[in-house]
Chain A
Amino acid sequence: MAQANEGTPLPVDSEADSHAARVAGVPGGFADTGEEEITEEPSTAAAASAADEDATVPRDRSLLVIQDEADEEDAAGADWSDYAQEGSPLRTARGMRTAAAAEDRERVHPPVMSGAFLSVTEGAEDAEEPAPRVGLEDILLESEQDASCDDFYGTQDTTQPASAAATDQERVDEPDAGSKGDDIQRPSEPFAASAEDLPNGVKWGTSPPLPSVPLRYDEGSSGESSPTSNEGSPLEGISLEPSQPAEAPAKEIQAEPEQATTDNGEVVLAERREGRGDKGGEQPEGDSETRRPPGLPDGRPARNRSFALRKSVDEIHSSYDLASKCVDEDDSVPEWYKHDDHVLIFTYSGKPVWSRYGSEDRLSAFTGTLSAIVSKMASLFVHSKGTDSLRYIKAGDHIFAFMERGPLWLVSISRGVRGRNKWQESIDALQSFSVPSTAPSCPVTPPTATAPHPSDGPTVYPQHHHQRIHTYSMLAELLDRIHQQLICILTRGIDKTLKARPSYDVRALLGGTDAVLNNLIEWSGRDMFALVDSFEPLPLAPPMRVIATNALKDFRAVGSGVNPQPHVLAAILLAHHRVVTMAVSRVIKNQLHPTDLVILINLVRSSALRQSESWTPVCLPHYNDSAFLYAYVNFSGRDLGLVVLSSTSDGDQFYALSQHFHRMMEALSSSGCLDAIRTSIAYCPYALPNSLLSTLGVPFIHVGYFLPSLQQYFGSAFSRDYQEPAREQQLFSVYHCCKTLLAKTKAKLPCQLFYKRRHESFFVWQTAEYHLYCCAPRWTELSTHSLTQLVQWLKTQESFLFISNIPTL
């Protein structure tokens, strides 16, 4: 019941704006139906204060704001208000200086402010006068507007007198401990850079590859004054500062014993920023920073340093182990029920076709039962005018999603959030709600905590934090994609066969495809393609992309061979699952559906196809679901692959394409393009440059940027603390929910949604031109200004991130 009502576009009114942020803190809304752990917290006081605020909350008019678990850390509220009061004089003084400018900007960027952001101002101001026009002016502006939040949030504090002293202490320490310590220690650099360069100057890919990046990081973290952060340790970098041990236990319930012994704030800070930038341990590394060319403060993308420690999205496809199918299990074994996400496929006669876990042979009783359920349910609809079928069943923490596809049934059984599914309820409740379309409005966030949340340190989450939120629409999309992957392997011929021979055993036809189907499921949960129905290009400098494209489409006959081009439908150069470049024939133009591309990529990358030169039939369901095309697949190394779809299976075509592959690789190699591609592959997934993040003042956990016109997306690397499959999945599931919620509200574009969870804030911004999905730690501030700047910056990078020109063959 996140409340937000429609109305006229929001007048420029800073007070109303700041109030809007609290819209969601409504008792009985997300706050109260929050995840179960809420009940474990001493939260009554906070809940009371939340209720208090809500009584005074005017309703938001332009933005859907959801706040989950508003009653979390009571101390956080105290921190904020305490801090805000303290900050007032400062704010006023600065505010006067820039009043005119502020007013100007206010119209464009409604005010947003939090303690965390304010602290940046302070640091920057104190240390540096030649400060940046971009950063500073806005900050001053916003700090002024903060005054309007002040009184309002001040009420939060009243229930927590005991923690006032502690929070005061914390506030003082905060510049060192908090996210902005980075900036404060060396305030001029990022800002100076930003003043000049943002959004144009910060670039990826234009700077030469620097293999020293990881090294520098290692040096930084281990060479710091505090050696306690161990790379790879699950508890590394937990961020409780030794300088404030007394407050720690009182403040946060998650202050576990291990944390008390951890390192000082600076190192933590450096590491935290490290996850998305490369400035870790920068104090001792200042020299190397200054050696960089001006205008590129840290202009190269930071690489994911810990990718060796985890199974990244890039590695999903290369590491399927048949053992994970647990073929010994069936529905009589307790272990079988412990898998979180079952997917079963069976025929309408109840015969098992495929199961993600367990042996299909031994699950026939189970699939028979499911088939009986769906057919009984179907009988309920017999007399209704429309044909309908069972879609989902919820039972406890499980959701059973059903999907009928011709003679096949697909069922997913997922374990989700325990108890009621708040999201589904909210979606149901908001069915009739619609978000008015307004100009970029006001993603105002209520400042809830000025101090970094301890959970920003890694791995202090309780287990159920990893539970994903499942909505039917998300599961249905997954099942539909699985079905299309099946069609890709078998064609629709399977439908005819099954209709003619209902007892036909399809399992034999699917032999050897466990990895393909399983990887699709795993990949879907951890990448953006499932969210926005598109594909991901490999970021590459435009000139290099042109070279690659020319090499790719340069089909011609060699020697006495044939020219393969007349039969080529599409040629795709892949770097892992990312598309470097592609060319499409006139025949298939505009018919190459992104989902087809994704399932083709999944097939190619999941199977032995990537291991050797291959020639295989594939079916593209959106193009023609009843016939095979022929795919030439060849990989150079494990990462770079060529896929050519051909309409003929003539033997000569294979040899001609084989020659084309070798010629193309030679062209790429001789032009230096191959090196550029490999360098870019090594940087994937790209982290946002540090200078950008510090200018924005938001250490984003993840940013996804989707261009509907190109049907391509860019997904940034996850910040360091989130580089773990379970967390990535969880964040994507929240994105999915946000998307579903926006869809359900039938919001017209542009629309925005802001959602605050226990540890993260999510912001989804959909316009006709782009969709932005981003996620930041809860304690940071997402302001209109920073988000607009982020988008502006992403726009400047579009030629690097996306394939703007897909030539016709």
Chain B
Amino acid sequence: MDASSPLPKTVHYKLVLLGDASVGKSCLVVRFAKDEFYEYQEPTIGAAFMTQSVTLGDEIVKFEIWDTAGQERYRSLAPMYYRGAAAAVVVYDITNKESFDGAKSWINELKAVLPSDVVIALTGNKIDLEASRCVSTELAEGYAEDNALLFKETSAKTGEGVRELFDEIARKLPKKSQDSDAGGFQVSSNQKASSWSTGSCAC
């Protein structure tokens, strides 16, 4: 935003969604960004990019969301997408215990790689399927507390908890000193990583 603009300040943050395949990452983003839900959301290839803003007091937090593919073949490419992120949402499916284990390994990886001020949120999705729940709220909440993570349970299908999740992330993000609005795409400076090496798949 121009300094002369009377509009509230806009700050850009890169946010990345991680998690196993079919836990509902894309659905969460689509619910947040477009307020829509597709019963059959096609598997993401690589990573999809979307933006959505959250108004927080006198400033607008504009999320640049990288919705990554959960498939194993993209696992080795994940750093390309989460590098430079200010926030990460690690999603698991509450009806699938394995996906919770997957989420834990994602969190370990992020904690090892990303700076400590990165906001990491653990999200249990699909709470509309309460009947087939396999991961209890207490278990996940406890894990989140131990690791100083945000924790939220959501349903992309009904929209429950989705908006709150992103609002809470926006509140928790460290305040940026500089406006980063040049061209609307300038993200935090540490995003300018050196060229990522061209590699082959996870295999």
Contacts and interface: CB of A to CB of B under 8 A. Distances in A.
Interface string B38-57: 00111111111110000000
A658 B200 contact: no
Interface in B164-203: 182-183, 185-187, 191-196, 198-203
B185 A608 contact: no
Contacts of A603: 45
Contact of A508 (B40, B42, B72): B72
B24 interface: no
B50 A511 contact: no
Majority-rule SS of A interface residues: mixed
B203 A504 contact: yes
Interface string B74-98: 1001001001100000000000000
B49 A607 contact: no
Contacts of B47: 614-616
B84 A512 contact: no
Interface string A409-430: 0000000000000000000000
Interface stretch (A219-227, A485-493, A731-739): A485-493
Majority-rule SS of B interface residues: loop
A490 B72 CA distance: 11
B48 A558 contact: no
Q: Which of B41, B77, B199, B200 has the most CB of A within 10 A?
A: B200
A287 interface: no
Given A497-B203, A614-B48, A608 B26 contact: yes
A346 interface: no
B73 interface: yes
B69 interface: yes
Given A490-B201, A608-B44, A511 B185 contact: no
A493 B50 CA distance: 31
B89 to A, nearest CB: 17
A563 interface: no
A159 interface: no
A509 interface: yes
A611 interface: yes
Given A493-B201, A628-B201, A512 B196 contact: no
Contact of A607 (B40, B45, B70): B45
Interface residues of A, number: 50
A613 interface: yes
Contacts of B108: none
A611 B193 contact: no
Contact of A512 (B67, B71, B192): B71
A651 B200 contact: no
B21 interface: yes
A559 interface: yes
Contacts of A654: 49
A806 interface: no
A703 B191 CA distance: 52
A438 interface: no
A628 B183 contact: no
Contact of A560 (B42, B183, B194): B183
A512 B69 contact: yes
Contact of A658 (B49, B67, B187): B49
Contact of A608 (B42, B83, B183, B191): B42
A510 B193 CA distance: 29
Q: On chain B, which size bracket covers the interface? A: 35 or more
Contacts of B203: 490, 493-494, 496-497, 504, 506, 509
A119 B195 CA distance: 71
A568 to B, nearest CB: 14
A650 interface: yes
A649 B185 contact: no
A680 B67 CA distance: 33
Contacts of A612: 48-50, 67
A627 B198 contact: yes
A650 B196 CA distance: 6
Nearest to A510: B73
Nearest to B26: A608
Contact of B198 (A508, A614, A649): A649
Interface string A604-635: 00011101111111010000001111010000
Nearest to A489: B73
A647 B41 CA distance: 29
A41 interface: no
A359 interface: no
Contacts of B183: 558-561, 655, 659
A492 B200 CA distance: 8
A388 interface: no
Contact of A615 (B46, B72, B84, B195): B46
A322 to B, nearest CB: 7
Nearest to A604: B45
Given A608-B26, A614-B49, A615-B49, A511 B42 contact: no
Nearest to B182: A560
Contacts of A129: none
Nearest to A608: B42
Contacts of A688: none
A666 interface: no
Nearest to B186: A560
Given A612-B49, A612-B50, A651-B83, A491 B195 contact: no
A244 interface: no
6 contacts: A489-B201, A509-B71, A559-B183, A613-B48, A616-B45, A627-B199
Interface of B: 21, 26, 40-50, 67, 69-74, 77, 80, 83-84, 182-183, 185-187, 191-196, 198-203
Top-4 shortest CB links A-B: A616-B46, A512-B43, A493-B200, A559-B183
Given A511-B73, A608-B44, A609-B48, 20 more contacts: A321-B40, A493-B200, A493-B203, A497-B203, A508-B72, A509-B203, A512-B43, A559-B182, A561-B183, A607-B45, A608-B43, A609-B45, A612-B48, A612-B49, A614-B47, A616-B46, A631-B46, A649-B80, A650-B195, A659-B183
